[in-house]
Amino acid sequence: MGTAIATQESLAEQFKRSGKRARRGTFLLVLPLLAFLTLTFLLPIGNMLSRSIGDPTVAEVLPRTAAALRAWNGKGRPPFSAYSALADDLVRAEREGRIGKVATRMNFERAGMRSLIMKTARVASTFEPPYAQAFNAVDLQWSDPEVWGTLRHASATNTMGYYVSALDQTRTADGKWVPKPEEDQVYIMLFERTLWVAGLVTLLCFVLGYPLAYYIARQDDRTRNLLLILVLLPFWTSLLVRTTAWIALLQTNGIVNDGIALFGGDGARLELVHNMTGTLIAMTHILLPFMILPTYSVMLSVPPALTRAAISLGATPWTAFWRVYFPMTLPGAAAGGLLVFILALGYYITPALVGGRTGQLISNMIQFHMQTSLNWGLAAALGGILLAGVVVLYVIYARVIGLNRLRLG
Amino acid sequence: MGRTTGIIIAAAAAIVILAGVLLFMLKGGSESEVSELDKEMTDMPLPSADGSAPAAGAGKLAGKSLVVVSWGGAYTTSQIEAYHKPFEAQTGAKINSVDYNGGIAEIKAQVEAKNVTWDVVDMELADAQRACDEGLLEKIDAGTLPAAPDGTPALQDFIPNGITQCAVTTIVFSHIVAYDSSKFQTQPTKLADFFDVKNFPGKRGLRKTSPKINLELALRADGVAGDQVYQTLSTKEGVARAFKKLDTIKNDVIWWEPGSQPPQLLADGQVTMTTAYNGRIFDAQVKEGKPFAIIWDGQLQELDVLSIVKGTKNLDAATQFVAFATDTQRLADQAQWIAYGPARKSSLPLVSTYHGKPDVDMKVHMPNAPENSANAIQIDFLWWADHQEELNQRWAAWLAK
pLDDT band at A252 (very low <50, low <70, confident <90, very high): confident
B89 inside 8 A of chain A by CB:
no
B310 inside 8 A of chain A by CB:
no
User: Which pLDDT does position B45 carry in this prediction?
Assistant: 38
**pLDDT for B392 beyond 90:** no
Surface of B (179-218) touching A: CB under 8 A = 208-210
Chain A residues with CB inside 8 Å of B399's CB? 357, 360
CB B167 within 8 A of CB B137: yes
User: Which pLDDT does position A402 carry in this prediction?
Assistant: 72
Chain A residues with CB inside 8 Å of B268's CB? 251-253
Interface test with A, best of B104, B134, B271, B391 (most A CBs within 10 A): B134
Domain B174-301+371-400 - what CATH class?
Answer: alpha beta
Averaged pLDDT, B322-349: 94
Interface test with A, best of B21, B101, B133, B209 (most A CBs within 10 A): B133
Chain A residues with CB inside 8 Å of B238's CB? none
Alpha carbons A146 and A152: distance in angstroms, whole number: 10
**pLDDT for B28 beyond 80:** no
Alpha carbons B357 and B220: distance in angstroms, whole number: 35
The whole-angstrom distance between B209's CA and the closest CA on chain A is 9
**Yes or no, beta carbons of B255 and A118 under 8 Å apart:** no
The Cβ of residue A116 has, within 10 Å, a number of other Cβ atoms equal to 21
**Yes or no, beta carbons of A100 and B135 under 8 Å apart:** yes
Q: Where exactly are the structural domains of chain B?
A: 42-172+305-348, 174-301+371-400
B330 inside 8 A of chain A by CB:
no
pLDDT band at B19 (very low <50, low <70, confident <90, very high): low
Interface test with B, best of A266, A357, A361, A365 (most B CBs within 10 A): A357
ipTM above 0.85, yes or no: no
Residue A143 DSSP class: G
Provide the pairing of β-strand B253-256 with B204-207. parallel
**Yes or no, beta carbons of A409 and B393 under 8 Å apart:** no
Alpha carbons A27 and A20: distance in angstroms, whole number: 10
Q: Which of B124, B108, B128 is nearest to B116 (CA)?
A: B108
Alpha carbons A52 and A383: distance in angstroms, whole number: 9
What residue in B sits closest to A371 (Cα-Cα)?
A: B105
Of A121-130, B15-24, B123-132, where does mean pLDDT reach its minimum?
Answer: B15-24
User: Which pLDDT does position B243 carry in this prediction?
Assistant: 97
The whole-angstrom distance between A78's CA and the closest CA on chain B is 24
User: Which pLDDT does position B59 carry in this prediction?
Assistant: 66
**pLDDT for B214 beyond 80:** yes
Per-residue pLDDT reduced to its tens digit, A12-51: 888 888 888 888 888 899 999 999 999 999 998 998 899 8
Interface test with B, best of A182, A184, A302 (most B CBs within 10 A): A184
Surface of A (255-284) touching B: CB under 8 A = 274
Alpha carbons B93 and B63: distance in angstroms, whole number: 6
Intrachain domains B42-172+305-348 and B174-301+371-400 with the same fold: yes
H helix or E strand, kind and range, residue B65: strand B65-70
B112 inside 8 A of chain A by CB:
no
**Yes or no, beta carbons of A184 and B393 under 8 Å apart:** yes
Q: Which of A224, A201, A236, A217 is nearest to A347 (CA)?
A: A201
**Yes or no, beta carbons of A372 and B387 under 8 Å apart:** no
Per-residue pLDDT reduced to its tens digit, B316-332: 999 999 999 999 999 99
Q: Which residue has the higher pLDDT, A283 or A155?
A: A283
pLDDT above 70 coverage of chain B, percent: 85
User: Which pLDDT does position A8 carry in this prediction?
Assistant: 65
Q: Which of B71, B401, B101, B399 is nearest to B255 (CA)?
A: B399
A44 inside 8 A of chain B by CB:
no
User: Which pLDDT does position A268 carry in this prediction?
Assistant: 81
**pLDDT for A6 beyond 90:** no
Averaged pLDDT, B18-38: 43
Per-residue pLDDT reduced to its tens digit, A97-125: 888 889 988 988 888 898 899 889 888 88
B243 inside 8 A of chain A by CB:
yes
Averaged pLDDT, A299-325: 92
User: Which pLDDT does position A304 carry in this prediction?
Assistant: 87
A253 inside 8 A of chain B by CB:
yes
B28 inside 8 A of chain A by CB:
no
The CATH architecture one would assign to domain B42-172+305-348 is 3-Layer(aba) Sandwich (3.40)
**Rama region for B103: left / alpha / beta (φ>0; ψ in -120 to 50; rest):** left
